[in-house]
Amino acid sequence: MLKEIIYPLYVFLFLLGTIIGSFLNVVILRSERNQEIVKTPSHCDQCGAKLKIWENIPLFSYIFLRGRCGHCHKTISAINPMSEFLTGVLFVIVFWRFLQIPFFQASFTGISAMQWFINFLPLALWLIYVAVLLLISIYDIRNLVVMDGFLIVGFVAGLLGESLMFLIDKYNPIAFLSYYHNWLGSAGFFFPEIPGIFSNIAGLLIGFLFIKGIVWVTKGRAMGDGDPYIAGFIGFILGAPSVFVFLFMAFIIGGLACFALIVSGYKRTKQYIAFGPFLTLGGLLTFLWGEKILQIYFNLMMLN
Ligand SMILES: [Zn+2]
């Protein structure tokens, strides 16, 4: 019964992800070249030929055209299909994670449009968060610059969405919304009576100030000026105390990756590498398993 709704939604979200991924590619490439982003029609980067509809389908066109432009036959960068695929997969993973929340699955069976909206609001927000983080990370890897303008877009969307959820929960409490916040490892563990939005704001401050402190202490050698803003954004979307799991994960992954890069000779010790992608990875892992990690940690604390 549920499968008939859930499987088509998986397919839909994957396809939606490839379309968003394709748009992220356009934003990244045109931003790098200081070109207009939205109004210019899709065209081949090399010969400038306008793309026909069937040449512009995310992922599939690359496969049909065997990775070459249909007009000038030059190779299309493999980054395009890769980030389309990655966005599709991440959208599927976000949905999979939401299906694990009690009450989310139940919301599919015969309820009002209002309740559908309330249940899908956090899911939609997380799809926006993932798209913003992917955009920031790919751009950071390629250019060592954090596009803070897009962080602001994600932050404003999050602030509006979380405030709306706060109001709904205040005047018409719905089990799913409180579950949603507890499940992200937010206020639920320590202060179950505190609404999610305050946990989000605490996460924002902790994430931002912690990384800002490191930038200040190391005089910008360890991380760049943009990194505190990424950490603040991820702290906001995860809330407290999940923000601590996220920071811990980001440093473990970042540290191991730097060590591996230095040992393998890809990077010299003083060379700068983008820390944004490690923050993003730490944030996504916390989104997936942060709740479990926090539970294990608290259980250990209580045993001692
Ligand atoms: Zn071409």
Which of 27-41, 122-136, 183-197 ranks highest by mean pLDDT? 122-136
Res. 190 pLDDT band, cuts 50 70 90: low
Q: Which residue has the higher pLDDT, 216 or 220?
A: 216
Tell me the DSSP string of 243-287. HHHHHHHHHHHHHHHHHHHHHTTSS-TTS----HHHHHHHHHHHH
* Alpha carbon of 75 to ligand 1 centroid (Å): 8
pLDDT at 268: 67
Tell me the pLDDT tens digit for each residue of 62-78: 988 888 988 888 988 88
Give the Å distance between the CA of 86 and the centre of ligand 1. Answer: 24
**CA–centroid distance, residue 47 to ligand 1 (Å):** 4
Q: Find the 56 Cα to ligand 1 centroid distance in Å.
A: 13
Closest CA to 243 of 256, 230, 255: 230
Locate 163 and state its tokens. Answer: 């405030």
Q: Ligand 1 centre from 189 Cα, in Å?
A: 55
CA-based angle 174:176:179, to the nearest 5? Answer: 120
70 C-alpha to ligand 1 centroid (Å): 7
In the chain, the amino acid numbered 116 is W
Q: Residue 67 Cα, ligand 1 centroid: separation in angstroms?
A: 11
Residue type, 272: Y
Average pLDDT taken over every residue of the chain: 86
Q: How far is CA 220 from CA 89, 270, 271, 276, in A?
A: 34, 12, 13, 14
